[in-house]
A and B are shown apart, each in its own frame.
Chain A
Amino acid sequence: MKRERIILGLLAVLVLAACGTTSTSGGGGNSYAGKTIKLGAILSITGAGGVYGPQSRDGMNLAVNEINKAGGVNGAMISLTVNDDASDKAQSARLAQTMIEQDQDLALLGPTLSNSAVGVHPLAESLKTPILAVSTTGIHIVPDCNFPDTTPCKYVFRDSLGEETAIPDNIKSYVEDKHPSTGVLLVAQDDKFSSDGGTIVQNTVGQYGITLLATIKFSKTEADLSPYVTQAVQKKPDVIFITSLGGIPAKIMTEARKQGWTGQFLGGNGFNTATVSKQAGADGKGARSASAWYIGNTFTSNAAFVSAYRAAYSKDPDQFAAQGYTGIKILADAAKRANLTFSDLAGDRDKLRAAMETVNIDTPLGPFQFTSDHDVKQTVWVIAMDGQGGFTLVHEIKAS
């Protein structure tokens, strides 16, 4: 009897050992075989942010499918749940809590809008869960998510190029070309993204020799922007700065051209989607902005990303898709190196956070690393609308 038991026991051990080694583990030592890496994304699929959320989602899903098909992360499959916050701050914050505490996601991505991030990021920080912003470009996102408290937030990261880099780069690039001397700023005053952009413009123009003749504020819900454009155009500036989102930049451009103004439009991330270029049409031709991504960029991972995206969704990716895709890649890489236990959620989240800080991978955004502030360090693409729904490349500004 005893001998049979010993043999059975040995067999059991052998079987278990065999099971343990049949999974293909990519990263050598730590195998996550049979486990699931739970990620959650809070995106704006409905509401005003619905212009960006769906693309982020598509980019993320593409990355998740690619990774899972190739065997997952050390054998663990990624499970991504995307939840819609309806562009509403309160829903965004509620979702964050539910996903962190009830769903027990390892890490979060999002939210789409800077407005929502103001509430969500401090919450994630206080609940010690890593959160990666994939489309918020306002100020005080990283590292000071608890502004005016300047203690850096440990768990908040961002892969979306901030306006405080993009706008100055854009202005600098144009000034080097054309030497303008006067400008007018049109800014939506009831939107954090627009206001932030406006503030950055105001703080930057002085150092490039541009005098801001007027700052014209309006409400983002205004039906007709003509009176504001009239005010701007009457000042005869060389440049009109537009830092708003959604349909506003195109409307302003169209109206300004109709009123006979022929100067240069300069803007922020609000210009960077194909829909805005299409809506502006010929009136937007030549309007410049700085983008985190350009469809024709020659980074190693980009071509494969673009063709995979086109194959999956029958349309071109945009900056938001690229940043969403990159976000998943970043988290996957960090997870691979983090030695996750899958039994101690708090400990795993902290290990993930630490691993994220040392990420260094190839992405469609280029070679990607976080700065010590958990911010983005990457090439900046100055692009101009081509008048036909697309963009042409003006300058490539490499990360310093």
Chain B
Amino acid sequence: MGQQVLNAIFIGSIYALFAVGYTLVFGVLDILNLAHSAVFMLGAAVTYSLVVNYNQSFVVAAVLGIAACAFMGLVIEYVCLRPLRRRRAPPIAALISTIGLALIIVAAVEQGRPGSFFAWLWVDGANSVRFPPNMLPNPTWHVAGLTLEATKVAVVPITLALMLVLGYVIRFTQFGRGLRAVAENPRAASLMGLDVDRMIALTVVLSSALGGVAGILFGLALSDISPYIGRDSLEIRGLAVIVLGGMGSVPGAVVGGYLLGLIEVLALVQFGSNVHAGVAFAALFLMLVLRPQGLFGAQLHERL
């Protein structure tokens, strides 16, 4: 049981990191960025390629990987989001354009094979790979019948540290204040002299960078990097987390992440592995029916 709680804490951190990206964009733009899971995967894939195919150290590769994700955030903004804002399109159109971009990103990695057009990005095609075993020191400790693995343990403080920094930025810096203003009321913000477009772009870039970090940590700790890691279950779980925590609330996403991890693991232990995913989603459904604003979401308009 103790081991399962540890599992929950670890996966909760990943969910939280991943969901924060979603919630940032939703809070500011009222849009679900469905390319986020593809960016998550891209972070892991690019870092892996740099380490294995280009012989970089992990640190250099990770920094470049995160940078690649940040750049992809720019792509998302300029290709998928801004043109639609200009045309005053309904938010649901942005859903579709981000789906299109996600399709392209996943396909590009999936078709990365020796000799293909995308071989510079990735050469393992649809396969699952892992970082070279001795790339980072990764001792495992057995304490009180529990197994503690260094990379998994490290994910928790990294996540919390990032969230604290993010929280500080949002609450206390000028950028953060601008962000909250845009989230509250974009027209008023622009009348006050804020460059709304720039704020939005920065938000998407920040969100994507965080997604990239989550992806790299995921690939590192779970020994699994493939074109499908974002899409498969992380995407819907990310949605579940922001619902639980409240859309647009960063602390909500963090708490929601750990909460979902715990719910899943408890359901597993209590009800068995067959039904536990179903239980988690049923819980989600109930939450939405009974308290749609989530734990931390205030009524409708207050966001970050």
A–B contact via C-beta, under 8 angstroms:
yes
Tell me the A residues contacting B by CB distance below 8 Å. 46-51, 54, 189, 216-224, 226-228, 230-231, 234, 246-247, 250-251, 254, 258-260, 275, 278-279, 281-282, 314-315
* Cα distance, A223 to B130, chains bound together (Å): 14
Smallest Cβ-Cβ distance to A231: which chain B residue: B273
Smallest Cβ-Cβ distance to A220: which chain B residue: B232
B residues 268-291 touching A (CB-CB < 8 Å): 268-269, 273-274, 277
* Cα distance, A68 to B80, chains bound together (Å): 49
Establish whether residues A218 and B273, one from each chain, have CB atoms under 8 Å apart when the complex forms.
yes
Given contacts A54-B113, A258-B149, contact A223 B222 (CB under 8 A): yes
* Cα distance, A219 to B149, chains bound together (Å): 24
Given contacts A223-B218, A226-B10, A230-B4, contact A51 B111 (CB under 8 A): no
Question: Which residues of chain A are near B274, meaning CB under 8 Å?
Answer: 189, 217
When A and B form their complex, which 6 residue pairs have the shortest distance between CB atoms, in order from nearest?
A: A247-B128, A50-B126, A221-B232, A275-B127, A226-B7, A221-B233
Given contacts A219-B233, A230-B3, A275-B127, contact A224 B10 (CB under 8 A): yes
B133 within 8 A of partner (CB): yes
Q: How many residues of B contact A (CB 8 A)?
A: 42
Among the 9-residue stretches B59-67, B223-231, B251-259, the one with 4 or more Cβ atoms under 8 Å from chain A is B223-231
* Cα distance, A260 to B141, chains bound together (Å): 10
Establish whether residues B124 and A275, one from each chain, have CB atoms under 8 Å apart when the complex forms.
yes
Question: Which residues of chain A are near B14, meaning CB under 8 Å?
Answer: 223-224
Question: Which residues of chain B are near A47, meaning CB under 8 Å?
Answer: 110, 126
Question: Which residues of chain A are near B7, meaning CB under 8 Å?
Answer: 224, 226-227, 230
B88 within 8 A of partner (CB): no
Given contacts A251-B224, A258-B149, A314-B114, contact A219 B277 (CB under 8 A): yes
Question: Which residues of chain A are near B127, meaning CB under 8 Å?
Answer: 51, 247, 275, 279
* Cα distance, A216 to B271, chains bound together (Å): 12
* Cα distance, A48 to B229, chains bound together (Å): 12
Residue pairs across A and B with Cβ atoms less than 8 A apart, 17 shown, are: A217-B274, A221-B233, A222-B232, A223-B11, A223-B14, A226-B222, A234-B3, A250-B130, A251-B222, A251-B223, A254-B130, A259-B147, A260-B147, A278-B129, A279-B129, A279-B223, A314-B114
Establish whether residues A51 and B147, one from each chain, have CB atoms under 8 Å apart when the complex forms.
no
Establish whether residues B237 and A279, one from each chain, have CB atoms under 8 Å apart when the complex forms.
no
Shortest distance in angstroms between B116's beta carbon and chain A's nearest beta carbon? 10
Most buried by A among B129, B218, B224, B274: B224
